[in-house]
């Protein structure tokens, strides 16, 4: 039996990243804080949960950016912010350089057409009472002025592109296998010819034997359409083979980001190191569904001061870790890390320098 990674590799693999390709999607200081119901009998200060706490990510045309991290670190919230399903508390989202909040209504419509999603569970994301042709046609009917005939042609086209037959357009979702259902989800996302797809664990709900087929389909579609992907995944080996860039999230922040190969072969952040060693299977056929590290993830309602990883960090270097929030520094080409083991923060801290403004806790 071959592993998913081998099955992906048996194909030609992903196309090398063109670093000069246009930046399609960019976030700057993107944050989402949820105000929770709380206080005594509803009175008093309501606690704030910092689900996403100021992240900077760019996704270029033809690039796959992988978002990894333990459960609850803010991956899906990031996806929802990019899809316009949640409103940011702070920060900006740019589409081809244009700030989403400053876009005209027409430009926002264009954004929604160009940023599509594929979710984890094709069962819950497809309406069981609709025929496949209606499911795939729906976004075309809502967003475009295409005629009925044109929509029919487009539906057949995308179904074929995702490996389904045009005659299957008349069937209902329950008449398909799990893998085929996810192909329908991909067809629906593809129908509007988007520039970016947000993939939130697109194969986690599928049988291991068919995951590689869907991942290979996504790779083929990317090559064909120069699609940009932001992909959330738990299986780190899959991320290594699928993603040009990897971003490691912890408690709503990015701890390490850069080209996937150096991140996996030479992880710099203690959290990434722990994540990768916890995910390494003892046998190549073993797929780890969930990453479990020792120690509890602190609550995002009251995250630790300084470096948010400090209570669990095995190599904490002292008070600086508890008092200064490290920024991202480019430690090697295209490889950024947020940790005081790198850079000169510890020397500056020990010399009594005031806390840098950027590192002061922001309660906004």
Which CB, 17 or 239, lies closer to ligand ATP?
A: 239
Out of 21, 23, 49, 146, name the contact with ligand ATP by CB under 6 A: 49
Query: Residue 147: in which H helix or E strand, if any?
Result: none
Give the number of other CB atoms < 10 A from CB of residue 105. Answer: 7
Which CB, 26 or 70, lies closer to Mg ion?
A: 70
Q: Which among ligand SF4, ligand ATP, Mg ion, none contacts residue 300 (Cβ within 5 to 8 A by kind)?
A: ligand ATP
Q: Is 302 exposed, middle or buried (0-12, 13-18, 19+ CB in 10 A)?
A: exposed
Q: Which among Mg ion, ligand SF4, ligand ATP, none contacts residue 326 (Cβ within 5 to 8 A by kind)?
A: ligand SF4
Which CB, 8 or 251, lies closer to ligand ATP?
A: 251
* 76 is a contact residue toward ligand ATP (CB under 6 A): yes
CB of 326 to ligand SF4, least distance (A): 5
Q: Give the sheet arrangement for strand 90-95, strand by strand.
A: 48-60, 23-35, 90-95, 98-99
Dihedral sign, Cα of residue 353, residue 359, residue 361, residue 362:
positive
247-283 as b/e, with b when 16 or more CB fall inside 10 Å?
bbbbbbbbbbbbbbebbbeebbbbbbebbbeebeeee
* 74 is a contact residue toward ligand ATP (CB under 6 A): yes
CB of 256 closer than 8 Å to CB of 69: no
Which CB, 191 or 279, lies closer to ligand ATP?
A: 279
DSSP state of 264: H
Location of structure tokens 């010399």 = 351
Rounded to whole angstroms, what are the CA distances from 160 to 64, 153, 154, 186, 309? Answer: 23, 11, 10, 12, 47
* 172 is a contact residue toward ligand ATP (CB under 6 A): no
Which CB, 60 or 255, lies closer to ligand SF4?
A: 255
What's the rounded Cα separation, in Å, for the pair 333 and 302?
34
SS3 content of the chain, % helix, strand, coil (to 5): 40, 20, 40
Size, binding site for ligand ATP by CB under 6 A? 11
* 55 is a contact residue toward ligand ATP (CB under 6 A): no
Specify the stretch interacting with ligand ATP by CB under 6 A; choose among 54-62, 68-76, 140-148, 330-338. Answer: 68-76
CB of 178 closer than 8 Å to CB of 205: yes
* 125 is a contact residue toward ligand ATP (CB under 6 A): no
Q: Which among ligand SF4, Mg ion, ligand ATP, none contacts residue 313 (Cβ within 5 to 8 A by kind)?
A: ligand SF4
Which CB, 49 or 146, lies closer to ligand ATP?
A: 49
CB of 215 to ligand ATP, least distance (A): 18
- Contacting positions for ligand SF4 (CB under 6 A): 270, 307, 309-310, 313, 315-317, 321, 326, 339-341
Out of 2, 71, 277, 305, name the contact with ligand ATP by CB under 6 A: 71
CB of 334 to ligand ATP, least distance (A): 24
- Summarize as ranges the residues that interact with ligand ATP (CB under 6 A): 34, 49, 51, 71-77, 300
């Amino acid at each position: 039996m071959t592993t998913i990674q081998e099955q992906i590799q048996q194909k030609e693999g992903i196309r090398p990243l063109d670093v000069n390709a246009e930046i399609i999607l960019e976030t700057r200081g993107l944050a989402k804080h949820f105000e929770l119901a709380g206080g005594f009998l509803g009175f008093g200060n309501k606690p704030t949960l910092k689900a996403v706490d100021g992240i900077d990510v760019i996704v270029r045309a033809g690039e796959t950016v992988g978002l990894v991290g333990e459960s609850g670190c803010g991956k899906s919230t990031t996806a929802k912010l990019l899809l316009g399903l949640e409103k940011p508390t702070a920060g900006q989202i740019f589409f081809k350089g244009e700030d989403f909040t400053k876009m005209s209504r027409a430009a926002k419509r264009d954004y929604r057409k160009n940023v599509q999603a594929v979710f984890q569970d094709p069962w819950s994301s497809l309406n069981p009472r609709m025929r496949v042709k209606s499911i795939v046609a729906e976004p075309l009917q809502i967003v475009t002025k295409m005629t009925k005939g044109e929509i029919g042609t487009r539906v057949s086209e995308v179904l074929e592109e995702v490996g389904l037959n045009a005659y299957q357009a008349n069937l209902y979702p329950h008449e398909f296998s799990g893998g085929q259902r996810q192909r329908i989800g991909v067809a629906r996302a593809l129908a509007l010819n988007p520039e970016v797809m947000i993939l939130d664990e697109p194969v986690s709900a599928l049988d291991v034997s068919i995951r590689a087929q869907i991942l290979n389909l996504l790779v083929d579609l990317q090559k064909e359409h120069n699609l940009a992907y932001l992909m959330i995944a738990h299986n780190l080996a899959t991320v290594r083979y699928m993603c040009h860039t990897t971003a490691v999230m912890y408690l709503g922040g990015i701890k390490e980001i850069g080209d996937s190969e150096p991140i996996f072969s030479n992880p710099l952040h203690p959290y990434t190191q722990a994540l990768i060693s916890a995910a390494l299977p003892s046998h190549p056929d073993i797929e780890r569904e969930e990453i479990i590290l020792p120690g509890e993830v602190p609550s995002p309602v009251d995250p630790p001061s300084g470096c948010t990883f400090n209570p669990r960090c095995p190599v904490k270097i002292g008070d600086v870790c508890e008092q200064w929030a490290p920024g991202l520094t480019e430690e090697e080409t295209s490889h950024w890390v947020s940790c005081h083991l790198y850079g000169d923060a510890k020397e500056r801290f020990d010399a009594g320098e005031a806390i840098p403004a950027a590192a002061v806790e922001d309660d906004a």
